[in-house]
Amino acid sequence: MTHPILDIDLLRVEYPSAASTSVAVQGVSITVQPGERVGLVGESGSGKSTLAFATMGLLKAPGVVTSGSISVAGRVMTGLPDSEFASMRGSSVSMIYQDPFTFLNPLVRVGDQIGEVLQLHSKASRREARVAAAVILDELGLGPGAATARKYPHQLSGGQRQRVIIGMALVGSPQLVIADEPTTALDVTVQAQILRLLSREIDVHKTALLLISHDLDVIRLMCDRVYVMLKGEVVEQGPVDQIFSAPQHPYTQALLASSRRDTVREAAQRRVALMSAGATEEGASL
């Protein structure tokens, strides 16, 4: 039997404050098997990003895991010091963030930023890291990699920067990549390129994917299984085909209807009917 690469068990995350404590994640259990593609959908405030940051050991203060556990590659991470999380980040699990404009350091050449991931884990010398960065830039369609590696982030477009971020996530050969809204800031044609690239790369590297998105179409396209989050809880989960064709929970049903623009279409049809009725009335009164 294979062990899940990610096993989140009854996790609870709170943001305590003097006035009141808000519970961002409550009793959430999620598993990702090796090589599996899992989606996490929900709207803003549903707790999906908090879950990702908790997994990376990067919860923003005062956020704190108050109960439950997170295991990565069979190792329980919750309760461990930051240094343990740091050794895991980039090598076992890495994360692709939403915004390609703020994530990269503007003062460091992109090749060095990719190479740094390997050097941090002492997986490579400086020279080896440089070569690895050039190779992965080539692989990501940013060739010639050696020349691109010498560029600074501002010399790249949004789509190119997102490729660099994908490179940083994959260069350490992690078993799991968490992608938090990786294409939300991008144009639709660039989004399609990035999704294609991400899909190909995780196939080639046999990496598991936890894809966080508010876009159900993106989840349907990229994932095998999906969890639906609402107000810090998972309300429904299952294979993508099943959830999308026969959603059980009222919230999932509402989300799908919104995504298909059902109510907007109905309003548009009402409008067309009323407008043409009005036009006939005007015609008759003339």
Partner 1 sequence: MSALSLKNVTKIYSTGSVFGSRGQFRALDDLSIDVQEGEIVGLVGESGSGKSTAARIGSGLLSPSTGEVSLLGTRIDGLSQRELRGSRADLGFIFQNPYGSINPRDTIGRAISLPFRIHRRTMSASEIKTAVLDLLERVGLAPAEEFYGKSPSQLSGGQRQRVAIARAIALRPPMLIADEPVSALDVTIAGQILELMLDIQTELRSSILFISHDLGLVQTMCDRVLVMNKGRVVEQGLPSDVLANPSDPYTKQLIAAMPSRMTRKDLVG
Question: How many CB atoms lie under 10 A from the CB of residue 21?
Answer: 12
**Is residue 168 near partner 1 by the rule CB under 8 A?**
no
The set of residues, in sequence order, having a beta carbon less than 8 Å from that of 14 and lying 6+ positions away, is 21, 22, 23, 24, 63, 64, 66
**Within the chain, how many helices (H) and strands (E) appear?**
11, 10
Nearest CB to partner 1, comparing residues 128 and 262 = 262
Angstrom distance (rounded) from CA 209 to CA 153 = 25
**Is residue 281 near partner 1 by the rule CB under 8 A?**
no
Among 43, 84, 241, 281, binds partner 1 (CB under 8 A): 43
Nearest CB to partner 1, comparing residues 122 and 189 = 189
Nearest CB to partner 1, comparing residues 53 and 244 = 244
How many alpha carbons fall within 13 Å on the CB side of residue 190?
Answer: 14
Nearest CB to partner 1, comparing residues 81 and 283 = 283
Angstrom distance (rounded) from CA 211 to CA 208 = 10
Among 23, 64, 131, 221, binds partner 1 (CB under 8 A): 221
Nearest CB to partner 1, comparing residues 188 and 286 = 188
The minimum distance between CB 166 and partner 1, in angstroms, equals 14
Stretch that binds partner 1, among 127-135, 164-172, 242-250, 270-278 (CB under 8 A): 270-278
**Is residue 261 near partner 1 by the rule CB under 8 A?**
yes
Determine the Cα angle at 220 with ends 216 and 222, to 5°.
115
**Residue 158 CB-density burial (10 A; 0-12 exposed, 13-18 middle, 19+ buried):** middle
**Is residue 199 near partner 1 by the rule CB under 8 A?**
yes
Angstrom distance (rounded) from CA 167 to CA 138 = 10
| Binding stretches for partner 1 (CB under 8 A) | 43-44, 187-192, 195-196, 199-200, 214-218, 220-222, 254-255, 258-259, 261-265, 267-268, 270-271, 274-275, 278
